[in-house]
Structure 1
Amino acid sequence: MEFRNLTSFPALAFEGIDQHGQSFHVAVLRQTLTFCSGRLEYAGTQAPLCEVDTFFGEMNRSSLRQESDLCQYKPKCDVIVNATAHAPQHKPAQHFEVLVRIKRADTQMAPPAAAQGLNPFTSPSQAEMEAWRIATAHAQRTRVPGAVLLEKKLAVTGERVFRQRAWPLRLAATLARWGTLGLIKANPWRLTSPRAFTEMPLRHEYAYGGECRVNAGDRGARRIGKKYRLTPAGLAGHPDREAAPALQPVAHRTCEQNLVGRGFAEPWFLRASGMKSVPAPRIEHPDAPLSARLFWQSLRGKFTDAGTLPRPFEPAGLGLRAKAHPQRRALLGTVDEAFIGSDAWLPQDFDFAIWNCAPPDQQIDYLAGDERIELINLCAPDAPGATIDAQGNTCLELALPGHACTLLMRMEDGAMFLHPMHIDSLLIEPEQGAVSLVWRAVIAKDADIRAVDLRQHCEFEAGFMQLIAEGARKQKSLGRAGSNVERELQHG
C-alpha cells in the first residue's frame, strides 16, 4: 500500500497491532495553529509530529508536556491545556479560578414550516403569512449555541504551607487528649494563608502529590525504622540503584497519582527529615479543597486505601496523566508469567484507552474541527484576541477552522472511497499562542488497497468527495477497511 500525504502538514503511516495479534494501518497527521493575529489560523512553520514523550524539565522528574503522537488508537479525544494562570487584571491575588470550555460550533436556527391553509386547496391567511415571515426572519438571524463538550474549573492559590503549630500549643493539645482519654484530639497542623501572586504555571508540580525520600547520605537516614526502609530487592529494582552510595535511597514512598507534586507526606519522613512544614498544593478542585484537618488525618493513616482517597487528594490540573498513574496502568491488562512467556504483543485484556493521556474529565468525543475554545484567566490580559469581562477576568475565545482531513482509499480495481480521520488530541498552549490538532485513522490491512491519499478539504469539497464514496460503495463493499477496525479496537 502506497501512502501519499497531499497536505502541507506533517503526517506518517505506520503499522499497529491489537491484543488479538491482528495488524492494521495507522495514519496520523498533526496541525499547528496560531492565534497571534487574534484568531486561529495555520502557522507558517508547522511543528513536526511528536515522536517521543516530552517534559517541561528533566525526563521523568518533571511534569509531561505532551506524549508521542505515534500511538495506535485513542477511543476518545484528549484535551490538554499547558497554560499559565493569570490573576484578573494582572493584580496580585491570594486566589482565583480558571476555566476551560470546549463547545460545538453554533448552528443556524431551523426555519419554521411554511404557512399552510386549512386544506391543500386554500391559501394561508394574510395574518398567518405575516407570522411565518416574522418567524423566518427571526430564525435567519438567530444562532443556536453549540453543545458544551467540556467545562472544567480549577482554583489556584498563592504559595502556602502546612505548618506545625508552636510546641506550647502542641503540648497543650497532648495534655487535653490525655485528660479527656482521647475524646479531644486537637490538630497540630495549620494551613498558612496564601501569598498574593499574579501568575503561576498550571503544572503538576503545584498539584497534590510528591514523594518522601531519604538517601543514605542524609542526616536523618539513621532515624528511619526498619519497616520503612527499602529491602535489598526494593533497592535492586530502584532507578537510582547505581547512584553514588550517599545518593542511594534508604526509604522511598511516592504518591502514585502524581510523583512530582506537593503535599504528600508520611510521619516517618517528617521525623527523619525534621521538617516542620510541608508545601501545600496550589491547584485544587473548587468543590474539594485540601484542608489542614485532612492533611493531619492522612498523616494518622486514615486514608490507607488509595481507592478511598477523598477528592481533595486527587491531583488537580489541566495537563496530562503520566503512564505510571494507577488508573492508566490498570488498562495495560494482565501481565503475568503466561503473557511474558508467550509471543503475544499485548495482553488479551489490553484496553486501548490507555493511550488517552488526559484525565477522564478531559476526555471527550472526537472533535469535528469547527469547535470553539473558551479560556478564562488562562492567558495574559494583553494576549491577542483576549478581552476583559465585568469581573476583570481575562477571556479568550478561539474557533477551530472547520476543515476536514480524510483518507481517499484507491483500490486495485479503480474504485475509490473516503475514510474519515478523527481529531483525538487537542493541545492548547496560550503562552506560545499555539493550538495543535492531531488527526488519526485506522484501516484494515487489505491487499486490494493500492494507495491511500491523505487530504484536507473544505466543507464543499468534503461533500463532493462523499458522493464519490457513495458511488464506490455501490461498486465494491469494503467496509471492513474502515470503521470495523475502530469498533473492534474500542470494544476489544
Structure 2
Amino acid sequence: METRNYLPFPNASYRCRDNRKRPLLVAVAKGTFKIEDGKVLKPVQEQKPVLPKDTYFGEPGASSILRPSDFVPAKPRTDVFVNALAHAPGGKPQAQWLAEVQVGIHTAAYKILGRRNWVYSGAESRWMLEDPKPVPTVPLRYEQAYGGRGEVDGEEKVFGKNPLGTGFVAPAHPSDGDKVKAPQIEMPGYPVTELGGDYLPAGLCATYEDWGLHSDDAPYAACNRAHPSLMFPGKVPADAWVTLTNLSPEGRLSFGLPPYQMINLVRYVDGGMLPGAMVLDTIAIDVPNMEVQLTWRLPISLNSEVRVLEFRMEQNAEKNAS
C-alpha cells in the first residue's frame, strides 16, 4: 500500500481487527501546536511523531503515563490529557483551591490540597487526617491521587483503580505517630476522608488500560484512556476554545483549537475511491512546554484491498485558521 501525505503533520497507518474481528486499516494524523494565550493554536516547526506505545513520566508501569499510544482502532469519546502543575491562585501558597479544564462547553474541576498525612493516634486508637499545609504548586499525576499498593500481614493489597496513588494501604499494626501520606487531588464534593476506602481517584493524565475507571461498555470504550472527567462525549468542535484555570503560573490560560478538517482519500485496488473525514479524538495539553498535540483518526474497513491512502486537509478550514 502506498501512502501519500499532503499534510504538514506526521501520519501513520496500521492494520488491526475491529470489535467483530474483521480486518481494519486505521489512519492516524498527529499535529503539534504552540500555545499562545488568547490565540488559536499554530503548528510548531518541529512536529512530534505518532506514538506506537505509551510513554511515562518515570519507570514504565510504576509511574504516571505522559503520553498514551496513538495506535488504537477508534475512540467513542474525545480524550483530553493535561500535563501541568496546579498553581495556587495569586502565586501565594494556599492550603486548598480549585483547578479547572474547560473544552468547549464541557468543564472538569479538581480540588487541590497541600501536603497532609493521616497520623495514627495511639491514645484514640485511630487514624486522624491532618489539615493540608499551604503549598504553591501540586503535580497533577496519579501518584498524588487516592490509591496505592502495599503489603499488609504478608498479603499484597492493590487499589485497582490507581495502584500508583496513596491512602489505600496502611500498616496493620500501627504505632503512635505513624504517618500515611494523604492524596492532594480530589474530585470536588467527594472528599477522601478514610484510609482504605473506595474513592474515584482524580487525575488529568492518561490512565492505564487495566485500571477499570471507565464503566462504558460501548465498542472501543477501552481505547479511551483519559480520566472519566476528561472524556468528552462525541466530537469536540474543531474550533472550540480551551481554558485552563490555576494550571499555569498566570492563573488562566486559554487557546482555540485550529478549525482543521483532516480527510483520508482511500484508493482501492479494484478502482474504487472513498473519501472519509478523520475525527479529532485526542487533545494532549502540555503546559510546561506550552504545546498541544492533536490526534485525528479514521478506521477504514478492508472490504477491498487498499492501493493508496492519502492524507489531506480541507483548504477552507486551513484558511480560516490562518
Please give the TM-score of this superposition, normalised by the length of structure 2.
Answer: 0.90
Determine helix, strand or coil for the equivalent of 2:254.
strand
Distance in structure 2 (CA, Å) of the matches to 1:380 and 1:64: 23
Distance in structure 1 (CA, Å) of the matches to 2:238 and 2:94: 36
Q: 1:457 aligned to 306, 314, 321, which one?
A: 314
Distance in structure 1 (CA, Å) of the matches to 2:305 and 2:225: 35
Determine helix, strand or coil for the equivalent of 2:183.
coil
Q: Which residue is 2:212 aligned to?
A: 326
Equivalent residue runs for 1:54-93 within 5 Å: 54-93=55-94
Distance in structure 1 (CA, Å) of the matches to 2:147 and 2:11: 37
Determine helix, strand or coil for the equivalent of 1:271.
coil
Structure 2: which 5+ runs fail to align? none
Distance in structure 2 (CA, Å) of the matches to 1:274 and 1:324: 36
Determine helix, strand or coil for the equivalent of 2:222.
helix
CA contact (8 A) 2:102 2:243 kept: yes
Distance in structure 2 (CA, Å) of the matches to 1:460 and 1:42: 14
Equivalent residue runs for 1:408-419 within 5 Å: 408-410=265-267, 416-419=273-276
Q: Which residue is 2:160 aligned to?
A: 256
CA contact (8 A) 1:56 1:65 kept: yes
* TM-aligned CA distance change 1:13 to 1:158, over 3 Å: same
Determine helix, strand or coil for the equivalent of 2:288.
helix
Distance in structure 2 (CA, Å) of the matches to 1:64 and 1:461: 32
Determine helix, strand or coil for the equivalent of 1:324.
helix
Q: Which residue is 2:109 aligned to?
A: 153
- Are 2:102 and 1:101 aligned? yes
Cα RMSD (Å): 2.5
Please give the TM-score of this superposition, normalised by the length of structure 1.
Answer: 0.60
Structure 1: which 5+ runs fail to align? 104-147, 171-187, 215-223, 230-250, 304-308, 332-349, 382-393, 463-492
**Pairwise CA distance, 1:204:** 0.5
Percent identity between matched residues is: 30
**Pairwise CA distance, 1:371:** 1.1
- Are 2:263 and 1:406 aligned? yes
CA contact (8 A) 1:402 1:458 kept: no
Determine helix, strand or coil for the equivalent of 1:89.
helix
**Pairwise CA distance, 1:359:** 2.4
Distance in structure 1 (CA, Å) of the matches to 2:271 and 2:175: 73
Distance in structure 2 (CA, Å) of the matches to 1:155 and 1:56: 22
Q: 2:301 aligned to 425, 438, 444, which one?
A: 444
Q: Which residue is 1:44 aligned to?
A: 45
Larger radius of gyration: 1
Q: Which residue is 1:213 aligned to?
A: 151
CA contact (8 A) 2:120 2:174 kept: no
Determine helix, strand or coil for the equivalent of 1:278.
strand
CA contact (8 A) 2:32 2:43 kept: yes
CA contact (8 A) 2:7 2:313 kept: yes
How many pairs were matched up?
317
CA contact (8 A) 1:323 1:329 kept: no
Higher helix share: 1
CA contact (8 A) 1:155 1:286 kept: yes
Distance in structure 2 (CA, Å) of the matches to 1:446 and 1:203: 43
